[in-house]
Chains A and B, each alone.
Chain A
């Protein structure tokens, strides 16, 4: 069975602060894929990143960075110099290697509010 836990239900920061969203996962598979999606108030989920279990390199994309640590089963997401437009619900998700493409197990989500 797979499980994704996002322990932070809500986070509130002031603009320009850095913020880290935590994600811990459980799976028995040796091959798996991890994702982050953003859900703005409009409702549609927006893909941010996919990592496979064999690639533990951290990744940076603009103000976004991701830290993948297999030893702690974590895939944390950091936003540097947060902006009001970053306010959204952020979901971490997992897909086992043996399951169908797109069959994601999502965490409960973290509501991020960035105040001006």
Chain B
């Protein structure tokens, strides 16, 4: 079974430039997440989609970050304009929709995009 695919693997930009990350979740996974992992810290949820609707974006800096999920499958996360503090690994994850009897709440993560803002 194919895992969560992310691209690019690495990205280096200068501050005030824009950047976009792409994620393709596991086939059949209705829920998709974007997490930000700053060096030395645990991941922090930025936004969560279920199908193509937003479930939670309370921690997304909406003045510069945006995300969409095309047709409930692939997703893109954009930063415009980037700041130095946006340097981090951006992780995409997916999961099945929670349901009765589904107790493991297992998220499947991609390998991430490492962003360096200079």
**Interface, chain A (partner B; CB < 8 A):** 4, 33, 35, 42-47, 50, 52, 91, 93, 95, 99-109
Q: Is the CB of A102 within 8 A of B111?
A: no
* 8 Å CB contact of A102 from B4, B40, B105: B105
Taking A107-B42, A108-B40 as known contacts, 20 extra A-B pairs with beta carbons closer than 8 A to each other, sorted by chain A number, are A4-B42, A33-B105, A43-B112, A44-B109, A45-B91, A45-B109, A47-B104, A47-B106, A47-B107, A47-B108, A50-B104, A91-B42, A95-B105, A100-B48, A102-B31, A102-B107, A104-B43, A105-B42, A106-B42, A106-B44
**Interface, chain B (partner A; CB < 8 A):** 3-4, 31, 33, 40-45, 48, 55-56, 89, 91, 93, 95, 98, 103-112
Q: Is the CB of B42 within 8 A of A93?
A: yes
Q: Is the CB of A45 within 8 A of B41?
A: no
Q: Is the CB of B56 within 8 A of A100?
A: yes
A91 to chain B, nearest CB (A): 5
